[in-house]
Amino acid sequence: MENILKYFSDFTPQQLEQFSKLKDLYTEWNEKINVVSRKDIESLYERHVLHSLSIAASFEFQPGMEIVDLGTGGGFPGVPLAIFFPEVKFHLVDSINKKLKVVEAVAEGAGIKNITTQHSRIEDVKNRKFDYVVSRAVAPLKDLWRWSKPLLKSQSSNPAGMPGPGLVCLKGGDLHLEIQESLTRPRMMSVKDIFEEEFFQDKFIIYVPRA
């Protein structure tokens, strides 16, 4: 928890309680269904929760918005973002049902009410549009963008000057070739400019706008 409170302080008591419950819930469920690597579970707040919240440090999602987490796995970045933005609706999608069982159990255990889940490939999500697609290291950018674009609203209720609908993904390493192959012109933000921990040295937020 110290990792989070080092950078964020404006939480309600309910949010603090929800964040504090994540460690025990994920530790318990990870023993049954492995969704976080064994070596990472001890660094859950830094490597998973705080990493997810780098999106919250860069984007101010508005109440009533709908966001889909593509290939959510164990619930990252969707679960921490849902706690951070309690008035935003998060739809967490994954093709592996047992991972969603962990997400649902964690959401219930922590009292997170603004999460829905769907056991599906992202290509099979139909008849819904979202303000943003978020994702963490699921696939190459060209595939993420191909899957995301049909799901995005053409315009959003964002205040003037704020980024419009788009894909927001967390990636690491040398991304130049991946970006080139995607044929997109993303905005690239370095997580190390937000969080000083060594883990974030080669981590980036990639934003591809819908327009």
Q: How many angstroms separate the CA atoms of 79 and 75, rounded?
A: 5
pLDDT band at 59 (very low <50, low <70, confident <90, very high): very high
Domains and CATH numbers, the chain: 2-209 (3.40.50.150)
Instruction: Say whether pLDDT at 161 is over 70.
Output: no
Asked which of 24-38, 94-108, 169-183 is least confident by mean pLDDT, the reply is 24-38
Mean pLDDT score across all residues of the chain? 93
Instruction: Say whether pLDDT at 159 is over 80.
Output: no
- Is residue 76 marked as binding? yes
pLDDT for position 156? 66
Q: How many angstroms separate the CA atoms of 58 and 47, rounded?
A: 17
- Is residue 122 marked as binding? yes
Asked whether the CA dihedral 154, 157, 163, 168 is positive or negative, the reply is: negative
Burial class (CB in 10 A: 0-12, 13-18, 19+), 170: buried
**pLDDT tens string 175-207:** 999 999 999 999 999 999 999 999 999 999 999
- Is residue 17 marked as binding? no
Q: Indicate the pTM of the whole model.
A: 0.95
- Is residue 128 marked as binding? no
Instruction: Say whether pLDDT at 145 is over 90.
Output: yes
Instruction: Say whether pLDDT at 157 is over 90.
Output: no
Residue type, 208: V
Q: How many angstroms separate the CA atoms of 192 and 158, rounded?
A: 26
Instruction: Say whether pLDDT at 76 is over 80.
Output: yes
- Is residue 136 marked as binding? yes
